[in-house]
Chains A and B, each alone.
Chain A
């Protein structure tokens, strides 16, 4: 019993880490596109292209096990949070208190989704037939 629980937990952690990684690459993509100024600056344009491939690859890997609706929301959410946090570092942007509250809302929602997603796994694990309904 203990062994199967541990294995299921580690199985579930993987896709979520890959999904967060996809979000991180999405941030790199967004910042690169911003820096490329309409793909007129070569270095930023190449960087944008590489991040574009990486983010979609990781998203695709994560979506093998995570529902697409959840995966997309988390992907977009992490991307938005990262861009808002790193924007002020690279470009002339500001992070005001109102935006900080929205960041907290997004992060809270992502954590909630992770818990809701794991809950489904537990339900499937303990009940033999897939009787889970909305």
Chain B
């Protein structure tokens, strides 16, 4: 069940990225509402998942999968293709977050 919660949290986190882009600095009402609602749902399901997952491990999986998902969604829906430099940079940052979370004391 906790994997399902984590999966839902990831999907809505990816949605936050997409909707926040579409909201254009909160100037488009419905995309803004969609951003806020998705953010709340993502946080809620993440907190449910973290009741059973180790916090560091759960958060690491959540951020990394969402980060990759958002790159894919950006390419599919926003026509934002990455060159190797950007892809490498994203890999380093997300990798750093995962390393940080897995190194305990989170």
Contacts and interface: CB of A to CB of B under 8 A. Distances in A.
Interface of A: 33, 38, 52-53, 56-57, 59-61, 63-64, 67-74, 76-77, 80-81, 84, 93-96, 98-99, 102-103, 105-106, 108-110, 112-113, 116-117, 119-120, 132-134
A113 B17 contact: no
Most chain A Cβ neighbours within 10 Å, of B16, B21, B35, B104: B21
A110 B91 CA distance: 10
Given A60-B24, A69-B90, A99-B103, 4 more contacts: A64-B25, A106-B100, A109-B95, A116-B85
Contacts of B43: 33, 52
Nearest to A111: B89
Contact of B32 (A38, A52, A60, A70): A60
B97 A76 contact: yes
Given A77-B96, A93-B105, A56 B89 contact: no
A58 B77 CA distance: 21
A110 B105 contact: no
A112 B70 CA distance: 19
Interface string B31-43: 0100110011001
B99 A105 contact: yes
Given A68-B21, A76-B63, A112-B92, A119 B85 contact: yes
B25 to A, nearest CB: 4
B55 to A, nearest CB: 10
Contact of A103 (B25, B39, B85, B100): B100
B42 to A, nearest CB: 11
B17 A60 contact: no
